């Protein structure tokens, strides 16, 4: 029909739109030019992927992450050379880049303090509009312009950088293209545990999601602004409004979905103790049924059991040592009373001291932890490994105040191993698989049982049945044994 509009202005052309245009005899249409974005990393410590690493160096991955998201938003992008931490060099680069780009991003050099280079450079050659906003993460963002070209100083921490792009740069791109901003789907969810948030700041939590008894549950992941794996693992971003000062356990919270709803709906939410084999279990479960997955969050055995008790997870991972030398069952009976529960053994594993190769501090016993030159890294309260540690220290009459680093806590076996590997600590307690993964020496202390705890009524659920089938498979058992311990 001659008077019929085929495609309205402001629409990103889809394959069906192209077909409609061609069917109408149109072989050319006017389109908006894709905005060109230039990204400049900064810092002498930055190393490109694939290059040799030295102590203190950081692999530059932020530009690829931001560039991929910019492509999704309809931009072209390129990465410029890495700039030194020098405001004069950055100022000159901004002037030149503003002439050829529609938007310029400077990564890092945005924090308010002595190493603040982007805002200083921007004031030299353009206009500084904003330095710092009341959000977490992402507070130190810099917004300004050189002539009419927008300049954004993006925080160097990966999670902050990703969030700032979505909150500030995505709307700008939508304005340039004349399109409606493509917003992510949002859902209301119940928070699995209480979260405190600083007053006066909007906070965005990375969360894992699961449908538990027909209610959507959001379980918070690590809050660090540089924890890129928390963003990799996240199913959504939960918004804690300013001045709310947090959300209580079971409180309703709005979540932006970072994955398709179909993936989230098929997830088994497992909260509790960490074990390196859980990622392997998730891998095998996905291979068996692409609609299923295992979303594990590591808060410690005791906290995991309490969250399961409140109905905010499907499963809990636990390895809590009892006074009688048994594991888990007594704690489950105490917490759940007469409720019918099930404990499925995932593995029997070895716990021990993880130390640097060659054991340079000659650490072999619990008493060695009291030496002044030995730095210890601990697990958080409620973790099964912490229960084991405190049990052994008490049994041997060791005052924890004599242990350097006893108060320093991390949440996973791999975090303990990483602290020893980096030299931040000399020793920590963890499983052999974690020591093996990071090339550390290992001295066994105890054998323990790691159980998956769940309500008996959930045993017949399709997802749980698939999980049990994976646990019973010979292929999974062989790969589990290859982890060590």
Same domain for 171 and 188? no
Find out whether the peptide bond into 415 is cis, omega within 30 degrees of 0: no
Same domain, 239 and 168: no
**Length of the chain, in residues:** 485
What's the pTM? 0.85
pLDDT tens digit at each of 485 positions of the chain:
567 899 998 888 999 999 999 999 999 999 999 999 999 999 888 889 999 888 778 899 999 999 999 999 999 999 999 999 899 999 999 999 999 999 999 998 545 544 578 999 999 999 999 999 999 999 999 999 999 999 999 999 999 999 999 999 999 999 999 887 778 899 999 999 999 998 899 999 999 999 999 999 999 998 765 578 889 999 999 999 999 989 999 999 999 999 999 999 999 999 999 888 999 999 999 999 999 999 999 998 999 999 999 999 999 999 998 988 899 999 999 999 989 999 999 999 999 999 999 999 999 999 999 999 999 999 999 899 999 999 999 999 999 999 999 999 998 999 999 999 999 999 999 999 999 999 999 999 999 999 999 999 999 999 999 999 999 999 999 999 888 76
Residues 6+ apart with CB under 8 A from 28: none
Same domain, 156 and 217: no
Are residues 335 and 476 located together in one domain of the fold? yes
Let me know whether 296 and 239 are in one domain: no
Residues 255 and 361 in one domain: no
Q: In terms of domains, do 41 and 25 share one?
A: no
CATH number at residue 143: 3.40.980.10
Rg of the chain, C-alpha, whole Å: 26
Q: Which of 235, 259, 283 is the last residue of a domain?
A: 259
By residue range, what is the domain housing residue 16? Answer: 1-31
Supply 213's token pair. 């008894």
Both 124 and 62 in one domain: the answer is yes
Both 436 and 299 in one domain: the answer is: yes
Q: How many domains does the chain have?
A: 4
CA distance 65 to 67: 5
């Amino acid at each position: 029909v001659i008077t019929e509009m085929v495609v309205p202005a402001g629409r990103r052309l889809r394959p069906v739109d192209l077909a409609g245009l061609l069917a109408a005899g149109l072989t050319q249409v006017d389109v908006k030019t894709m905005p060109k974005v230039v990204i400049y990393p900064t810092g002498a410590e930055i190393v490109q992927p694939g290059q040799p690493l030295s102590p203190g160096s950081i692999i530059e991955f932020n530009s690829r992450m931001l560039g991929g998201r910019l492509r999704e938003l309809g931009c072209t992008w390129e990465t410029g050379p890495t700039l030194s931490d020098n405001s004069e060099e950055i100022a000159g680069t901004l002037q030149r880049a503003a002439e050829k780009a529609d938007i310029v991003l400077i990564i890092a050099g945005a924090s308010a303090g002595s190493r603040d280079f982007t805002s200083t450079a921007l004031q030299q050659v353009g206009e500084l509009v904003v330095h710092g906003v009341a959000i977490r993460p992402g507070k130190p963002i810099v917004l300004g312009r050189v002539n009419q070209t927008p300049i954004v100083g993006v925080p160097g921490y990966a999670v902050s950088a990703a969030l700032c792009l979505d909150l500030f740069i995505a709307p700008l791109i939508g304005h340039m293209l004349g399109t409606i901003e493509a917003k992510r789907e949002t859902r209301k969810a119940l928070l699995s545990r209480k979260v405190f948030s600083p007053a006066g700041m909007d906070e965005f939590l990375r969360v894992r999601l699961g449908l538990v008894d027909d209610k959507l549950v959001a379980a918070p992941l690590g809050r660090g602004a540089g924890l890129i794996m928390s963003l990799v693992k996240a199913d959504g971003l939960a918004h804690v409004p300013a001045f709310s000062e947090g959300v209580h356990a079971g409180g309703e919270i709005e979540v932006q979905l970072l994955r398709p709803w179909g993936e989230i709906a098929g997830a088994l939410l497992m909260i509790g103790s960490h074990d390196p084999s859980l990622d392997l279990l998730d891998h095998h479960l996905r291979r068996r049924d692409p609609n299923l997955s295992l979303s594990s969050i590591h808060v410690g055995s005791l906290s995991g059991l309490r969250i399961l008790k409140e109905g905010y997870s499907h499963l809990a991972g636990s390895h809590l040592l009892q006074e009688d030398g048994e594991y888990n069952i007594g704690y489950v009976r105490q917490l759940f009373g007469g409720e019918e529960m099930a404990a499925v053994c995932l593995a029997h594993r070895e716990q021990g001291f993880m130390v640097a190769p060659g054991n340079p501090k000659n650490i072999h016993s619990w008493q060695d932890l009291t030496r002044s030159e030995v730095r210890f890294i601990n697990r958080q309260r409620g973790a099964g490994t912490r229960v084991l540690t405190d049990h052994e220290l008490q049994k041997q009459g060791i005052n924890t105040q004599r242990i350097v680093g006893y108060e320093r806590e991390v949440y996973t076996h791999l975090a303990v191993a990483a602290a020893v590997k980096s030299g931040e600590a000399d020793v920590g307690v963890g499983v052999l698989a974690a020591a093996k993964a990071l090339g550390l020496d290992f001295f066994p202390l105890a054998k323990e049982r790691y159980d998956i705890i769940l309500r008996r009524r959930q045993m017949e659920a399709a997802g749980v049945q698939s999980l049990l089938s994976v646990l019973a498979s010979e292929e999974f058992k062989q790969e589990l044994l290859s982890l060590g311990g």
